[in-house]
Amino acid sequence: MGIKVLKFGGSSVADALQLQKVKKIVETDPERRFIVVSAPGKRFSDDSKITDLLYLCKTHIDNNLTAAHVFQVICDRYKMMEMNLGVDVNIDKELEIIRENLKPGVTSDYIASRGEYLCGKLAAAVLGFDFVDPAGLICFDERGRYLPDQTDSRLSAELKKHENAVIPGFYGSDMDGNIKTFSRGGSDITGSLVAKAVGADIYENWTDVSGFLMADPRIVPEAKPIKNITYKELRELSYMGASVLHEDAVFPAREANIPINIRNTNDPDDPGTIISDAPHENDSIITGIAGRRDFAVITLYKNMMNAEVGFVKRLLTILENNDVAFEHLPTGIDTVCVVVSQKQLEGKLQDLLDDIERRLSPDTIEVYHDMALIATVGTGMTRRPGVCAALFGALNDAGVNVRMIDQGSSEMNIIIGVENDSFETAISAIYKAFVK
């Protein structure tokens, strides 16, 4: 029998009703043996996530204010969950212990982690699974840096002892037992670590969407789901803003060759999206389209630039000295463009341009603002003739002016730069060109 590791995100464990859905999903398949949970998220759009409320408690304490009323909201939610689920995990006592720790000196990692801890207790009781606390198993150093080797050996040794278990996501501890958390959304990472530690056949990441769509549905309402995506494609699309999964969650599963399946707790029959390194066939040549607005492009032109040794190196040093990170660097024979997010340039642009002028003496420098970048991604595009023609033909038909083109040699990703105002038109046009 295989082993499946499931991680349920905040909206999947937001209340008793959601946890009942989790129970049903887990019970339909005996291979679903290890369950990682987030803290309860929003039940409706104006609701608060438990983790946000916990961080708010810490802010109150740091400002010498009482956190009592915020903590009461948290207590009420967990007590209601315990009651509605009909389980007894002694939640009053657990909450009392946390309340006693809410005093100056408490770390935000400890406070934030309690959301997952309590949710794990409830989920374990509902499922009748063992509760395994990741403190002491998921290891960090004293500065909060995650330690992969210690974690893998401790976690796999512990989980071998359990037939079924619930493990709270998001946190672990340092070698002195102090609680440490990953960055926000880090329960995804815990799921991946558990999958690796138990040698899972698949890591199912259950959320409130049925995987990835080929484009943002606010722009392309008919956007189809992506059935299969490689890690590389995922990286390209997430970089452009299409995110469902914490970026660091990919590595442990990928290292151990475990596919990740994004699934929807509210629609468990939908197969969702499978992320793996396996070559795949989707119905369309492209896998997905994603983009981001608000970039600036600084274009330098200098006659005979290509013969000037170290030109780009000096340009990059100037960017570094001005603390500006760049996103893309398309080059021509005598031109080089630096694509930078506009936010990066706030308050720095003039100094940067002065430095470039002084140290590189370009013939011209031009700065275009308000550019959007759009990535059309798909390993299926490789070696297919006509992809560029279809893409640029569609943009031309839609009246979109393409200001920049950047295609990596892998041919897996074609990035174009268009005016912010043409962002949505361009995405719709590309989608229609490739998805029938």
| Binding of ligand ASP by 115 (CB under 6 A) | yes
Window of 180-188, 310-318, 369-377, 412-420 that interacts with ligand ASP by CB under 6 A? 180-188
Question: In angstroms, rounded to a whole number, what is the distance separating the alpha carbons of residues 208 and 211?
Answer: 9
**In the block, residue with structure tokens 């992320």:** 275
User: With contact defined as beta carbons under 8 Å apart, do 91 and 82 qualify?
Assistant: yes
CA–CA distance from 51 to each of 39, 68, 81, 131, 170 (Å)? 7, 16, 16, 20, 10
Structure tokens belonging to residue 358: 């002084």
What character string, x for contact with ligand ASP (CB under 6 A) and - otherwise, covers 401-420? --------------------
Question: Count of alpha carbons within 13 Å of 429, Cβ hemisphere only?
Answer: 21
Kindly give the residue spans of alpha helices, DSSP state H, lying in 48-90: 50-62, 68-85
| DSSP H or E stretch at residue 131 | strand 130-131
Which residue of 4, 49, 180, 263 would you call a contact of ligand ASP, by CB under 6 A?
A: 49
| Binding of ligand ASP by 18 (CB under 6 A) | no
Would you say 173 or 379 has its CB closer to ligand ASP?
A: 173
Window of 183-191, 266-274, 326-334, 345-353 that interacts with ligand ASP by CB under 6 A? 183-191
Number of residues forming the site for ligand ASP (CB under 6 A): 13
300 pairs with which residues across the strands?
336, 365
User: In this structure, how many other beta carbons lie within 10 angstroms of the beta carbon of residue 8?
Assistant: 29
Residues near 280 by beta carbon (within 8 Å), at least 6 away in sequence: 227, 228, 229, 230, 274, 379
Window of 178-186, 253-261, 373-381, 407-415 that interacts with ligand ASP by CB under 6 A? 178-186
User: With contact defined as beta carbons under 8 Å apart, do 272 and 262 qualify?
Assistant: yes
| Binding of ligand ASP by 169 (CB under 6 A) | yes
Window of 62-70, 71-79, 152-160, 186-194 that interacts with ligand ASP by CB under 6 A? 186-194
Would you say 42 or 99 has its CB closer to ligand ASP?
A: 42
Spatial strand order of the sheet with 288-301 comes to 335-341, 288-301, 364-377, 413-419, 402-407
Would you say 196 or 246 has its CB closer to ligand ASP?
A: 246
What character string, x for contact with ligand ASP (CB under 6 A) and - otherwise, covers 356-375? --------------------
| Binding of ligand ASP by 184 (CB under 6 A) | yes
| Binding of ligand ASP by 170 (CB under 6 A) | yes
> Minimal distance in Å, beta carbon 302 to ligand ASP?
47
Would you say 182 or 311 has its CB closer to ligand ASP?
A: 182
DSSP reduced 3-state for 5? strand
| DSSP H or E stretch at residue 344 | helix 342-345
> Minimal distance in Å, beta carbon 247 to ligand ASP?
13
Would you say 44 or 86 has its CB closer to ligand ASP?
A: 44
Question: In angstroms, rounded to a whole number, what is the distance separating the alpha carbons of residues 180 and 170?
Answer: 9
CA–CA distance from 80 to each of 40, 41, 71 (Å)? 12, 15, 14
Would you say 42 or 280 has its CB closer to ligand ASP?
A: 42
Which residue of 4, 5, 6, 10 would you call a contact of ligand ASP, by CB under 6 A?
A: 10
| Binding of ligand ASP by 51 (CB under 6 A) | yes
| DSSP notation for 141-182 | -TTS-B-HHHHHHHHHHHHTT-SSEEEESSEEEETTS-EEE-
Which residue of 11, 18, 38, 376 would you call a contact of ligand ASP, by CB under 6 A?
A: 38
| Binding of ligand ASP by 191 (CB under 6 A) | no
> Minimal distance in Å, beta carbon 180 to ligand ASP?
13
| Binding of ligand ASP by 120 (CB under 6 A) | no
Write out the residues near ligand ASP by the rule CB under 6 A: 10, 38-39, 49, 51, 115, 169-170, 184-188
